[in-house]
Amino acid sequence: MGELAYVITMSAVAVSAITGVLEAGRKPIDLFGVVLVALTSALGGGTIRDLLLERPVFWVADQTYLAAAVAAGVATFMLVRLVRLPANLFLVPDALGLALFTVIGTQVALANGAPWFVASFLGVVTGVFGGVLRDILCNEVPLVFAGELYATASWAGAMVFIGLLQAGIAGSVASLLAMAVLFLTRIAAIHWHLTLPSFAAKE
């Protein structure tokens, strides 16, 4: 992994930790619990991917990931007690993190021999299951399953990435294009309130 990619990944880990703190903060959870929720949010998706692929869990050997998530979590906790952060401040960084995690997850799965359909699903797992575990710890129905396209945008990005690779496009170009599609889908979904049908539509 190049140095730029490493820095970007760390930023995505930190942003996911921050969203974990913001969710945990609405619950009767203390500072240490908030940090554990932040860690789960930041590292959970990639952890499940690595376990399913039988490869070493990415944050166990390199403790920079854990340190970045803890630092972001504690800093956010302190900040939120001082000032009221606007709820939508992190929507754009979160969409960037979703794009990055999904495409890296898909790439890792393909590199470990997963067939394409499984790889696209493991990309989604990497992108969204940190948030799913965060919501489970906070005793909520996972937010990523509702509202504006989120898991769907993640899957669309994974499929675009796989399609471009299949068409013979170089990996670096394919990953940038797929991240752009995923990011813009998510931002467009927020802006125009694009949602998938749900059962509720029947009534």
Please report how close the Cβ of residue 199 comes to a second copy at its closest, in angstroms. 4
- Residue 165 burial (10 A CB sphere; 0-12, 13-18, 19+): buried
115 binds a second copy (CB under 8 A): yes
Nearest by Cα to 134 from 35, 41, 17: 41
Of 56, 86, 87, 168, the one binding a second copy (CB under 8 A) is 56
Question: Binding string to a second copy for residues 128 to 147, with x set by CB under 8 A, is what?
Answer: ----x---xxxxxxx-xxxx
Radius of gyration of the chain (CA): 17
Of 30, 111, 171, 180, the one binding a second copy (CB under 8 A) is 30
Please give the residues from 91 up to 110 whose contact with a second copy meets the rule CB under 8 A: none
Nearest by Cα to 122 from 76, 161, 166: 161
Q: Which stretch binds a second copy (CB under 8 A): 10-18, 74-82, 95-103, 177-185?
A: 74-82
Core vs surface per residue 67-84: b (16+ CB within 10 A) or e = ebbbebbbebbeeeeeee
Q: Residues binding a second copy: what is the number (CB under 8 A)? A: 61
Question: Binding string to a second copy for residues 153 to 172, with x set by CB under 8 A, is what?
Answer: --x-----------------
The CA distance from 178 to 184, in Å, is 10
Q: Taking the C-alpha atoms of 176, 182, 184 and 189 in order, what is their torsion angle to the nearest 10 degrees?
A: 180
Please report how close the Cβ of residue 96 comes to a second copy at its closest, in angstroms. 20
Please report how close the Cβ of residue 6 comes to a second copy at its closest, in angstroms. 17
Please report how close the Cβ of residue 105 comes to a second copy at its closest, in angstroms. 13
Quick check: 117 and 153 in contact, CB under 8 A?
no
Of 51, 170, 173, 180, the one binding a second copy (CB under 8 A) is 51
Q: Which two tokens stand for residue 70?
A: 């803890």
Q: Please, what is the end-to-end C-alpha distance for the chain in angstroms?
A: 50
Q: Which residues bind a second copy (CB under 8 A)?
A: 25-34, 36-37, 39, 47, 51-54, 56-57, 59-63, 66-67, 77, 80-81, 113-118, 121, 124, 132, 136-142, 144-147, 151-152, 155, 195-202
